[in-house]
Chain A
Amino acid sequence: MIEISNLCKSFTLHNQGAAVIPVMTNAALSVAHGECVGLIGASGAGKSTLMRMVWGNYLAASGLIRVGTLDVASAAPRQIIRLRRETLGYVSQFLRVVPRVPTLDVVAEPLLNLGIDSVQARSRAAELLARLNIPERLWALSPTTFSGGEQQRVNIARGFAHSYPALLLDEPTASLDAVNREVVLSLIEEAKARGAAILGIFHDEAARARVCGRLVDVRDFTPKAAA
């Protein structure tokens, strides 16, 4: 479902003496349906960079990033927009939403964007928020004022609202208590069971061991000169 080969990336900092920083060479990995692959490597080794290239907000210098039938590395913006709406989900570490929009609508939005009617979309959102132990009295409020752990759970609910065939998870259990961590791990297991291909970053080693079938060390893709 996700297939990466010969992927390279460098950053050019035009306003800092046009410094060119190579960050990745010849990255390669694949994630099949129903599989969860974990990215490992020290902080700064390029786990998030790789994930962002798959999401399409970092441009690849060269190489191939196939998600389903689309090569994200060479796709037009509107093809990526469509991929994100229908095929590829992303749970980032940060919640980025229009201020003042109620939590229930934030979670229902990916479904509304797919043309699902609002009653059905909100009921799916409510189900996920309840499962992730966000108290119902908070659903009508904007998540921008929530605690870090609550915001993360809202982000997870949003990422799991639609049954994406492929999912990117950036530390989904980072600031959660034991109960909610368990809920998130079962959501991941259920997504695998329905055939989703998942690429994840987990600093939580026990969580990683439980959900990841394989690990990929991104240090193998770190350019030698910079290492």
Chain B
Amino acid sequence: MHEVGITQSIVEIAERSARDQGAERVLSVTVEIGALSGVLADAVEFCFEACTGGTFLEGAALLVHRIPGKGKCGDCGAEMELDPYTFACATCGAFALEVLQGNELRVTEMEVD
């Protein structure tokens, strides 16, 4: 459950950004979670309420954008969808896959009051 630590980072980043803007309440926070990031979006959503109690984010909405994985074969150059359990290029079978997208793990936007 490293998602608890990840969710606490969301709270830390959002509180700091809100304070910088002179705001005292966060109404919503938007995060991007890539399919290859090793973090389960569902688990972040699950512990969000517990992690936000008593903070600027209490009662805030969590909006999660799930970013699908995308990769490119180092051998034949084919591009393909990737999940954490894809090991071989769907076209030529090579194992050297370069990740183009899916490692995202960031706060992108928030609404403050």
B is bound to A: no
